[in-house]
Amino acid sequence: MDMLEKLTVLADAAKYDAACTSSGLDRAARPDGLGATMACGCCHSFSADGRCITLLKVLQSNACSYDCTYCVNRRSNDVKRATFTPRELADLTMQFYRRNYIEGLFLSSAVVNNPDYTCELMLQTLHILRNEYHFWGYIHAKAIPGASPALLTRLGLLADRMSVNIELPSESSLRLLAPDKKKADILKPMGLLRDGIEQGRQDLVKYRHAPRFAPAGQSTQLIVGATPETDLQILGLSSALYEKYRLKRVFFSAYLPVVEHRDLPALTTKPPLLREHRLYQADWLMRFYHFDANELLDEQNPNFDPYMDPKCTWALRHLERFPVEVNRADYEMLLRVPGIGVKSARRIVTARRAGSLDFDGLKKLGVILKRAKYFILCRGKAAPGIVMTHRAILRALLSDAALESMHQGEQLSLFDPTMEDVRQCITGQI
Amino acid sequence: MHHRTDLIYRYDGSFEGFLCCVFRAVYQKEDPMRICPQEEAQATLLETVVIDTEPDKAQRVRKSIPAKLGMDAQRVVYLCFLSDRPDKEVMLLAFLRLGYQLGSRVLRMLADERVHKVLTAARAVSGEAHLLKGFTRFSQYGGALVAEIEPKNHVLPLLAQHFKARMPGESFLILDRTHQMVLICSGGRWQIQTAQLEQLPRADAQERFYRQLWTRFYDTVSIEDRYNPQCRMTHMPKRFWGMMTEFQEDNRPWALPEVSEKIK
């Protein structure tokens, strides 16, 4: 099989992994090597589906010995199989990196023979890159569930970020759809990674040249929509993961039916992109806006509102806390105002030290007044002509079309997030 | 304080030259209507003052910025100067005057028109430079890597620092087609000069092979059921596509993956 075909097969098999970030670590190049990393990450292109391309995301191999129902690479599926030799993949990474196509390598793999053998193959690739070619760009490596702890540790010492995919958000779903994987198989390596990262941090305090273990932390992915869990369950799981396993990111991936099976949604099912988007918005609110999972959803409202983003939903349920005076409110409260993001909240705090702000000034700071004006006062006054009742705000925040279909009790198309929604999702400005 | 405003400054277009304009404006108590680089000189009824670039004057102004406005302001002034805004010099002069008066407080006055304008321009420059850190594509020609870009702003100095730091062993050129400038970096040193830029020669077979591999990777990673061209354009405006490997039809000797009707 020639290189072009091999790359096609192994990139195609890896593309359903949502994680594509090269962030979390600032590292300068070394004089004898090639490559550096930026804490903010760097997107090198955007594919036709609008997702960022930053790393060369491929599998080492797709010749899997497992038979997970939801997975295209499962043993019983009739697809082309390919495997990169470690040398081939290391060379390709270097050549792509020099041309500035990529920020680094995202290496995952199907389970070839057994988890340890697979891990060894990946280790060889990373060893060539790091120790032979002196490559200091970003490397994201997937931990292979079931591989021995010693091998995972070695992988962590070569990679910048590690991840283990949970995939299915509950044990029962896992039993049904991934009979070869057990919850323990997934959580054990996550625990190992957490401890390795923690240990590495402590060593670094004691010894300046201590080897760094996955310095950009670990992440995971949950598939949304393949199984019947509610948003509340998913959000609960992800906030537990952040807390217990100290994850840097939890990624959500709208389930795409690539496989026909009686236990799975039909092949014609469209991916629940809006639901995925709402989960990301909530994730952002938890990580950067000081929200708790239980503030966003509860037993009465276990799923997100398709018509309105979680921050607006929260604000409308807590109108007693608004309006807030922009010139006096603390940073935490500013963050909770729809239309004020992290950047504009910081700018407000900075700018009001130099003089009190009016609505015109807020606009210059990047506040989205279209939304924010229903929730704020400037110098004790509301924006002219604003009525701050629940009904009036709801009417103002929803588009006419959404309002109409809501009144008629119609199902909003879940697959048609507005452009604004999509943009917010990626930039994180909610 | 009454400043004379009915005149125009003309300078050589360099950052030093601009600093000398600031020197003159402050000491002669003048507020020129325009400060324009030599090449843009137009016939005008207003009196035109030609400002010579004098290193010691430039140095005095250069030092005054971090001393009076703070280190952050120094960075902002430099970034704004790299902007393509035709009135950037006048904007900067107003900002600096305010800063000389108020000190480092000026960077907190985000709602002030003069500060807002300069910060917005600086942000546009560093934003474009950040995008180009990702979107610039190199090709191997002999022993050097060569890239072409068409930026709005003068981002070459910012790209120079970035690529020099991450590729210490490589020699590379970046051609700025918009401003007819070239960045040359080799052996840990870089310089930028104006140049008459020609078309690049055809790449060799190996280079064309890597371009194809990358283009194929690009086509493959997109998920058909999530097709969203609008979202792609938001993050990667079309003005960058002309210089990017994955959008050159020569590198794609196969048909673009078709987008089925159900998704359109």
Could you write out the three-class secondary structure of A194-239?
HHHHHHHHHHHHHCCCCCCCCCCCEEEEEEECCCCCCHHHHHHHHH
Q: Which of B128, B157, B184 is the endpoint of a domain? A: B128
Q: Per mean pLDDT, which range of A49-63, A119-133, A159-173 is the poorest?
A: A159-173
Closest Cβ opposite residue B165 in set A3, A28, A51: A28
Q: Does any domain span residue B263?
A: no
Q: Does any domain span residue B264?
A: no
Subunit contact A47:B221, Cβ cutoff 8 A: yes
Q: Are residues B17 and B110 in the same domain?
A: yes
Subunit contact B225:A271, Cβ cutoff 8 A: yes
pLDDT in tens, B197-227: 888 999 999 999 999 999 999 999 999 888 9
* Window 181-240 of B, Cβ < 8 Å to A: 210, 212-214, 216-218, 220-232, 234-236
Q: Are residues B27 and B97 in the same domain?
A: yes
Strands A104-108, A55-59: pairing is parallel
Q: Are residues B83 and B12 in the same domain?
A: yes
> ipTM for the complex?
0.93
Nearest CA in chain A to B166: A35
Closest Cβ opposite residue A351 in set B108, B230, B244: B108
Q: Are residues B47 and B82 in the same domain?
A: yes
Write b or e for each residue in A375-407: b if 16 or more Cβ atoms lie within 10 A of its Cβ, otherwise e.
bbbbeeebbeebeeeeeebbeebbeeebeebbe
Identify the residue among A3, A21, A100 best suited for mutation to test binding to B, counting B beta carbons within 10 A and taking the highest.
A100
CA distance B88 to B80: 7
Contact residues for A297 (Cβ-Cβ < 8 A; gap 6+): A231, A232, A235, A282, A303, A304
Q: Tokens in use for A353?
A: 């030290």
The domain made up of A3-259 has a fold known as TIM Barrel (3.20.20)
pLDDT in tens, B37-83: 986 666 677 888 999 999 999 999 999 999 999 999 999 999 999 99
Q: Are residues B29 and B112 in the same domain?
A: yes
User: Helix or strand or coil: residue A375?
Assistant: coil
Burial of A150 (0-12, 13-18, 19+ CB in 10 A): exposed
| Residue labelled with tokens 């109409």 | A404
Q: Are residues B72 and B118 in the same domain?
A: yes
Subunit contact A47:B216, Cβ cutoff 8 A: no
Q: How many domains does chain B have?
A: 3
Per-residue pLDDT 10s for chain B (264 aa) are 578 888 999 999 999 999 999 999 999 999 999 999 986 666 677 888 999 999 999 999 999 999 999 999 999 999 999 999 999 999 999 999 999 999 999 999 999 999 999 999 999 999 999 999 999 999 999 889 999 999 999 999 999 999 999 999 899 999 999 999 999 999 889 999 998 888 899 999 999 999 999 999 999 999 988 899 999 999 999 999 999 999 999 998 887 766 665 444
Measured between beta carbons, which residues in chain B are less than 8 angstroms from residue A361?
110-111
Q: Does any domain span residue B256?
A: no
Nearest CA in chain A to B165: A29
Q: Does any domain span residue B262?
A: no
Provide the domain limits for residue B143. 136-194
